Structure 1
Amino acid sequence: MEYLEFELPIKDLQEQYEKACQIGADSEVDVSNTCKQIEKKLKETKKEIYKNLTPWQRVQLSRHPNRPYTMDYIKAICGDSFLELHGDRNFKDDKAMVGGLGKIGDQSYMFIGQQKGYNTKTRQFRNFGMANPEGYRKALRLMKSAEKFGLPVVTFIDTPGAYPGLEAEERGQGEAIARNIMEMTRLKVPIIVIVIGEGASGGALGIGVGDRVMMLENSWYSVISPENCSSILWRSWDHKEQAAEALNLTAKDAKKLKVIDTIIKEPLGGAHSDREKTFATVSKTIVKVYDELKILSPTDLVKLRMEKYSEMGVFKG
């Protein structure tokens, strides 16, 4: 288990608890009371730390190396029913953007999302979750297929941004994202969007237009990352914590600003601390939201979606 800097008090108590239990197991000394006291203190410390997280600490949790990624959710939710689909039918298959057909119960869905890697090799293979234009064009192709067959679309957002390389711009990165935004506003099937980790800039918006937009409790959603914001404003990454505070990027901030509809609770300690519970919660949420949306006609879906986004940012004095 890896611990972030602000989680070190938890690590110390966890080690003390394990040592005390080990002493009891290896000898005849009764350490049950000691173990109970440490366990109680451990629970209290966890509650205290995770109840008072700063925006920057939530950003750190969203990037935790053990945090589940898009394919983890899809495999856990769909099991063997998931069929991955590849390619944009134009240039190539972007490994940073994954998608395909899967089932929850008897209902089929089109799942799409950015995928990061688990180690150096797979991170390079997945381009660190930063999609190229062909990734967004693949996503749009899958959405159009879902529309053709009347299937709901579920997107998982987890990206530090769209790939900013020269070759991506040459192949029309901005146009690909803009087209996705336009096409998603008028897609005639339900679209459920969930920010599971990082939701940065146009890279997130390219698959982020939906009838219901939700965020996991320790994810973030913003026009720019705290580090890049800090480097622009202060010419240094040293002010990233201040930038995170100013950007209003947490799930609570997004809900307050009506950028999202729902916050999905995570287990104490983050999604990685109890992956199975997180997967079950996300699966139930998708089913619940789809049950609300499936009764709407395609015309009503598009109308309500358009109204939802038209009202964003409107100030009434």
Structure 2
Amino acid sequence: MTDSSVIEVRDLRKSYGGFTAVDGITFDIRRGETFALLGPNGAGKSTTIEILEGYRHRTSGEVRVLGVDPQHGGLEWKARLGIVLQSAGEAGSFTVRELLTEFAGYYPHPRDVDEVIAAVGLEQKQRTRAGRLSGGQQRRLDVALGIIGRPELLFLDEPTTGFDPEARRQFWELIRSLKAEGTSILLTTHYLDEAAQLGDRAAVIVGGRLAAIGAVDEIGGADARTPMVRWRDAAGAVHEERTSAPGTLVAELHRIDGEPRDLEIVRPTLEDVYLDLIREHGAADERALAEAKEQS
């Protein structure tokens, strides 16, 4: 474990009988960064996260989280983690303040309860029972419970599912403030704009294998990020051309035919790159399966 990393994963595998859920993935998460782990349902994300959190044992490979093998992490190690699950347990009979005060007592160096309530924007709801909170307020409480112990590493599993657009953006600001304080964050989300907004780096898992990893604005490689120029000619026909120099192409079109009609320059988003990766690796899996059947 290096000082610059909070998580190190080497050739991680997890099998259930004849089914391999995680198939030899390797990645690091650096101290202080927000790392987005992406992939379709059933890709192996949840299994990987549960192994990192110490809830599930791996079949093989090496894993270090804050310098400790999660399979042997004790209470002192767990106190250094914050975990916000996709769905939290019911605690509807307790108020926001009561829950946070109770949880604070579980940690050696907790944050101040008032500080946490303010950080998640629940000052007006601190005397409200958890069961009476709205969905967005409940999610804020989940995060408050995840950070009350002053974690070095925070796991966020689908944190804004069910949020309206305004609540999502407010939540993003909260996550940015935690990052600014030095908290390392592992984020799983199906919202690709969320990963693009919050993530420093991202990894895409498909079929239990790592399909791509890199900076959020570079993942997939330069070819995947090549802009598309789309326009309609004088006869009304639509043309498309990928080019790394869209300005030059547009200037040439203007020189030849004047102002192009319905001109668009489309720059691939993280979602575009992600969907291309999913399709590419899905097709590769189908080819491999077909070849295996032919050989058998």
Report the TM-score when normalising by structure 2. 0.29
Computing the radius of gyration from Cα coordinates, the structure with the larger value is 2
Report the TM-score when normalising by structure 1. 0.28
Larger relative contact order, structure 1 or 2 (CA cutoff 8 Å, min sep 6): 2
Structure with greater helix share of residues: 1
Structure with greater strand share of residues: 2
